[in-house]
Amino acid sequence: MEDIPKSHPRYESLMTRKKISDAMKKGLVHETGLIAHGRGEAFDYLIGEKTIPAADEAEKIAAASLIIAKNPIISVNGNVVVLTGMECINLSEEIPAKIEVNLFHRTDKRMKLLTSELLNLGASKVYGLKGDARIPGLDHDRGICDSDGIFSSDVVLVPLEDGDRCQALKNMNKTVIAIDLNPLSRTAKTANITIVDNVTRAIPNIEKWVKILKNEDKNSLEDLISRWDNRKMILEVCAFISKKLNLLF
Ligand code: PTJ
């Protein structure tokens, strides 16, 4: 990997793979996180590896929702900490929002490793280790959360989510903002706001929108959010991909 020249057309992508694979060897990323990353790459390829207009709009609405939230939180897992840990901290400070480590493959070791990683990157507080509450209706470990973290939040940003938890969080009357490159996933279809973009582009872009919208009055932000049609946006992403494929053949 070290021998790959910067001029290689897939340099960025190959270096990101190396980052994920090194983090797996250190125990931060679960081995199935590599598979999830591969699926993400495939969908990213289909949207041209850039933020498409539908995603930019979703990122704007996500920013508005996070600004007006009473108790917003960013839920992070292994892949997210490794790919965008610093950016998540910056976003959490700008909103401001809490950060909680929440894992599908939860072990004490991974929880501690990922929490330390975020603290070393400069996070002032990281939720998740206490694990004193449960999201109702979720039998697996992603249901474990902190009572003063995800459990009591009103708006949750969940990059790389699984559909089960997304639905369970909605059942708790929370607003769920998902980042998922797969527009056909259960998560994409279930979330209130779905961002079909790479987490590495989405998090900084949400932060950009938070900076732009922060001083807008609350009513105009609520108005913006009330006009959001998530299903329409997913159809737009699918149309974008189909058009791209049609142009090829
Ligand atoms: O760290 P843990 O223990 O919580 O485990 C996390 C993984 C990622 C293993 C777990 O959440 C998982 O299995 O995820 P899934 O069900 O494979 O879903 C991952 C989704 O994220 C897929 O739909 C991918 O398209 C999408 N995805 C992968 N990489 C990215 C992404 N979306 C945005 N940005 C990415 N970089």
Average pLDDT for runs of 10 along the chain of length 249: 77 90 97 96 95 98 98 98 98 98 96 98 98 94 96 96 88 97 95 98 98 96 97 96 85
The pLDDT assigned to 2 comes to: 63
Residue 25 lies in a domain: no
The pLDDT assigned to 142 comes to: 93
Determine the residue of 77, 79, 187 to mutate for testing ligand 1's pocket, defined as the one with the most ligand atoms within 8 A of the Cβ atom: 79
Nearest atom within ligand 1 for CA of residue 103: 4
The CATH number of residue 168's host domain is 3.40.50.12640
The pLDDT assigned to 19 comes to: 95
Cα of 96 to ligand 1 centre, how many Å?
25
Residue 69 lies in a domain: yes
Q: Is 183 in the pocket of ligand 1 (CB under 6 A)?
A: no
Residue 29 lies in a domain: no
Residue 21 lies in a domain: no
Nearest atom within ligand 1 for CA of residue 43: 25
Residue 43 lies in a domain: no
Residue 148 lies in a domain: yes
The pLDDT assigned to 249 comes to: 72
The rounded distance, in Å, linking the Cα atoms of 80 and 73 is: 14
Structural domain count of the chain: 1
What is the domain extent for residue 85? 53-248
Residue 126 lies in a domain: yes
Residue 165 lies in a domain: yes
The rounded distance, in Å, linking the Cα atoms of 114 and 120 is: 10
Where helices occur in the chain by DSSP H, the ranges are 11-26, 31-46, 53-68, 78-94, 108-121, 163-171, 186-190, 199-213, 218-226, 230-248
Q: Is 84 in the pocket of ligand 1 (CB under 6 A)?
A: no
Q: Is 78 in the pocket of ligand 1 (CB under 6 A)?
A: yes
Q: Is 39 in the pocket of ligand 1 (CB under 6 A)?
A: yes
By the 8 A CB rule, do 28 and 117 touch? yes
By the 8 A CB rule, do 117 and 37 touch? no
